[in-house]
Structures are given as structure tokens and as C-alpha cells.
A and B are shown apart, each in its own frame.
Chain A
Amino acid sequence: MSAPFGRRHAPLLIRRTYGPYVVLGAGDESARAQPGQFYMLASAERWGGGDGERPYLARAVSVMSVGDEGLMEFLLEEVGPGTKRLCELEVGEGLLIVGPLGHGFDEPDAGVEPLLVGGGIGIAPLVAVQEAWGGQALLGFRDAEHAKAAELFTDPLVSTDDGSRGHHGFVTELLEAELAKQSRPIYACGPPAMLHAVRAVARTHEVDCELAVEAPMACGFGACYGCVVATVDGYRRVCVDGPVFDGAVLA
């Protein structure tokens, strides 16, 4: 389904926090996002003039949840001037949005419950996957404070780097254990090192994996060619050819 053409104004309807993460909810009745798709987000007011006279460009943010009547929820973590401005927005303030954009996750075959492997802020699109199609969530966080975002999932298994909650170690260790019990496809999103490890596990166990990758983006709709990722077919734009790629296609 096509996205509405142009940037639109959307009032912020919801703001809540899970540890350091902020959930923003905005109404966008004109569009329905698929799991794995994203929007370009900016604040309607005071976008710019922060650290280093930034932000300037909108920020690409995964759809975390698609509610009734076009309510879109996004998960954010402050990592720079753009996410800082978005995270400080209050209910009633305005967002400027373009979307939904990108190629999302493919629907799993009937009866298949995929493994949803998320790391840090990368858990966001997997919330939408679980809401739409189910699946066992395996989530990796830095510590228990960040792991508060596991509440967004139904029956997740959690690992933390410091062992303050759940399994002490990497989320890929949880993935190995689940695959040893039952072979099933993987949907993953997280930092590059985690995605690299997930691909290796998928190869070893000969299961399909779909990865949502992240890249700095200027436009989100294929105009700037700035967000490319290396694939077996050369560079591909994350915004229009992804952000979800078959793990076997990535170089």
C-alpha cells in the first residue's frame, strides 16, 4: 500500500517511558503500516538549534505498534540531537511525519511462530511483528533498566550484558537454545554486531532470517541514495529496498 504523498502534521497523543526508552504515539488515520516499516519523524516546532545547530533532517523511526484507528506508536532512545528533541516532546505537541515507508517483514507461513530476536532499541519493530503474527521474543539489553522495555512483549525471554536481569550473556545464546529445541525462522533487529551473530547462527542451523537494518537516512523514500547497505547484488537503499532484508542477501 502506498504512503500518502508529502509530510503531514500529527499531534502527539501518547508518551510513556520504559526505563530510558520513550514511546510516542501519534494518529495517522490515512495509513496502515506493516511490521518492519518506518516513518520519518521530526517535531513540528523547534526542530533545529540543538547541539551543533542540529537536528536538521527528520529521523527514521520504526513503527513499534499499529493500534486501532491508525494510532502509530514509536520507540525512541536518546542518542543525539534528533532523538533528544523527539524524546522531550509532550502530549499535545506536534510531529511532522512521512510514511509509512520501506519494505517490512514478510508474513510467516500459516502456523509458523517465528523467533523474534531484538537488541536494545532494535526491539521496536518486533513488537509490531508479535502483535500481528505472534512469535517468541528473545531480547537482549545492556542492563535491567533498559530491559524494562521487555514489558512491551508477551512472554519474552531476556538477556542482559551485566546479568542484572534474565540470562547473563548474549541474546544469540538464547537463540541457540531455542533453535536446539525447534527449528523456526528468525526475525531480527538490533545493533550490527548482533545482526552479524544472528546471521551466523541462522546459517549454522539452516533457518531463514529476516533482518531489519538501520542506516543514517536523509529522506526515507529513495531520493538521496545515502542509506545504502552492501548486499550480494551490490549496494541497496535501506529505505526502499529494506529496511528488512533476507539475511542471505546481505554481504
Chain B
Amino acid sequence: MIEFCGLKLRHPVINASGCFDVLAAARVFGDELFEQFPFAAYVSKTITLRARAGNPPPRLWESAAGLINSIGLPNGGLRAYLETDLPALAAALPVPLITNVMGSTPEEVGEILDALEAEATVAAIELNVSCPNVATGLDIGADPDGLEALLHHVRPRSSKPLIVKLTPNTADVAACAAGAQAGGADAVSLINTLRALALAPGGSGAWLGGGSGGLSGPAIRTVALAQVSRVAQRVTIPVVGMGGVASGADARDLLDAGATLVAVGTESFRDPAAGSRIARELDDGFTQIAH
């Protein structure tokens, strides 16, 4: 049993936000999904105050040992999440729910946190700070002082554990993690996708409908390890490590680098049950060490 921000988890493997839609998967795989649920906690895709259609296709580009995506956070908005998704998740989900949220202003984030406060189904909140700041064009999570200020503003709006999902597209991720901790975050999670670009053939510009995208998969595994390691040395709050995890050995590396939990993202696209396999491989590793 793993203790994380007051949650008791069966094993240290969860999903990366936006990489598993449990309600869609239930339509495809039926009850077997819940009987063999691959994650110790379930992280929702990003919820925003208002509905978002997402970016125009194409949204995907397969790169060398990785994937560039520009999905654009499609979701039905906070109200639809509260009215439709949460009751369905409450009825079906066999593990704690971590709801991932994003707002383009501190007030928007605060409004979402207010609305989730009364929802017992939401065990914890993950705050996506990879949203561009309208004034600077930088991710709001890329500036340590700005991130700390955001946290000071929104932290009092929620009594639930608050995990800050850090962006890797910054000069000093450890400073951003320290800013999140100083602002009152209960944990940090990293890495989000690395900004990346795929060009359409013939010099006609960006391939993806949204322009640039985010790189994930084995291509970013060693970058994730470096960033998780630096962050874990800098902060005292728990760290959720992710980025290119495809095996128990990859998960073990992140745990050894200081992570408390490991999240699986793109590997679940290749195998929907990857989380279970990785947790099992980790456990087998523990057994070997014990013997």
C-alpha cells in the first residue's frame, strides 16, 4: 500500500492526464476494464470552466520513438463534468479519482476548485499550468514566481490535495517546483509533454492543425528522469514522475530518482492494460530485491 497525499493506493502506478478516458474505455472493454483496472488512481483529462472543441485535425504525428500531439484539451466544460462525468465515474471507478483542471486566469481556476469542493468523488486535484499566459505567451507554469503567485491565489479555494502538473518547457523546472511548494501545493507531477513541431511535406508549414504540439513516449524518457531527479532533490512534497514509462524498469528509475508515484501515458495507447503490466513488473522487481 502506498500513501500519497492522504490517499491509500494499491501500487505506485497511475495514468497521465489525457492518456486514458475511463468512460470511453468502459464502452469498448466493458466490465473487464474495472475488474482489471490498470491504475492505482485515475487522473481525468483536463477540465476547463467552459467547453472546448479542441484543435482542428490532424492532431497526431508519430515521431522517432514518440508521438507529437496537439489535441487542444477538448472537454465538455465544468458543468458537463459535474452533471455527466462525475456521477458515471462515482458509480464505476474502483480507485480514487484525481481531477485535472486548467484555467486561463487565477479566478477561473478558483471557480473550478470552488465547484469541486463539495464533490466527494474527487479525491484530489491536479492543476495543469501548461496554459499560455495571455500577456507573455509563456506557459503560466514556466515562471517560478508567477506559479507561486497563482498557487497563493487558488490554494485557499480547495481543501483537497492539490498536485501541480509542471511544464518541462521552462529554464529551471526545479525552481518552478519550489514555487509550487511555496505556494502551497501538496505534490508536483512531471513531466508534461515537451514542445515539438512536425512540418508538413513540401514546406507548407506545421503538420498539426494546432501548430506545434507536445512530444511524449520513449523519446522523452531520459529528459523526464533528469527533470524528476532535479525536482525531487529540490522539494520536500511528493513527486509524481512520468515521461516515456513503458516498463517496470522505467518506473523503477523514476522511483529511484525520487518519485513517489509513476504515471503511464503514451504506453497505454499501445496497450490499454500497460499500467497493470508495469505495476506487476515493478512488484516482481521488489520481490527479487527482497529475495
A interface vs B, CB < 8 Å? 2-7, 42, 48, 52-58, 96, 98, 101, 215-219, 221-230, 234-235, 237, 240
* A224 and B71 form a contact (CB under 8 A): yes
* B65 and A228 form a contact (CB under 8 A): no
* A221 and B28 form a contact (CB under 8 A): yes
* B25 and A226 form a contact (CB under 8 A): no
Q: Which residues of A contact B20 (CB under 8 A)?
A: 223
* A56 and B32 form a contact (CB under 8 A): no
B192 CB within 8 Å of chain A? no
Extra contacts besides A56-B64, A228-B59 (6): CB < 8 Å? A217-B60, A219-B270, A223-B269, A225-B18, A228-B57, A240-B24
* A6 and B71 form a contact (CB under 8 A): no
Given the known interface contacts A2-B29, A56-B66, A218-B266, the answer about A223 and B19 at a Cβ–Cβ threshold of 8 Å is: yes
Candidates B30, B64, B272; contact of A53 at CB < 8 Å: B64
Q: How far is the CA of A222 from the CA of B33 in the complex (A)?
A: 14
Q: How far is the CA of A98 from the CA of B29 in the complex (A)?
A: 10
* A225 and B32 form a contact (CB under 8 A): no
25 intermolecular pairs with C-beta atoms under 8 Å apart? A3-B28, A5-B32, A7-B271, A7-B272, A7-B273, A56-B66, A57-B67, A98-B271, A98-B272, A215-B57, A216-B58, A216-B62, A218-B67, A218-B269, A219-B269, A219-B270, A221-B25, A221-B28, A223-B24, A225-B21, A225-B59, A228-B57, A228-B74, A230-B57, A235-B54
* A2 and B69 form a contact (CB under 8 A): no
* A225 and B29 form a contact (CB under 8 A): no
Q: Which bucket holds chain B's interface residue count?
A: 35 or more
B interface vs A, CB < 8 Å? 18-21, 24-25, 27-33, 36, 45, 53-54, 57-60, 62-67, 69, 71, 74, 217-218, 266, 268-274, 276
Q: Which B-chain residue is minimally distant from A81 (CB atoms)? A: B62
Taking the nearest CB of chain A, how far is it from the CB of B149, in angstroms? 31
A/B pair count, beta carbons within 8 Å: 122
Q: Which residues of A contact B272 (CB under 8 A)?
A: 5-7, 98, 219, 221, 223
Taking the nearest CB of chain B, how far is it from the CB of A217, in angstroms? 8
Q: Which B-chain residue is minimally distant from A48 (CB atoms)? A: B65
Given the known interface contacts A5-B36, A223-B269, A235-B54, the answer about A55 and B59 at a Cβ–Cβ threshold of 8 Å is: no
Q: Which residues of B contact A235 (CB under 8 A)?
A: 53-54, 57, 74
* A218 and B69 form a contact (CB under 8 A): yes
Q: How far is the CA of A120 from the CA of B218 in the complex (A)?
A: 34
Q: Which residues of B contact A52 (CB under 8 A)?
A: 63-64
* A5 and B33 form a contact (CB under 8 A): yes
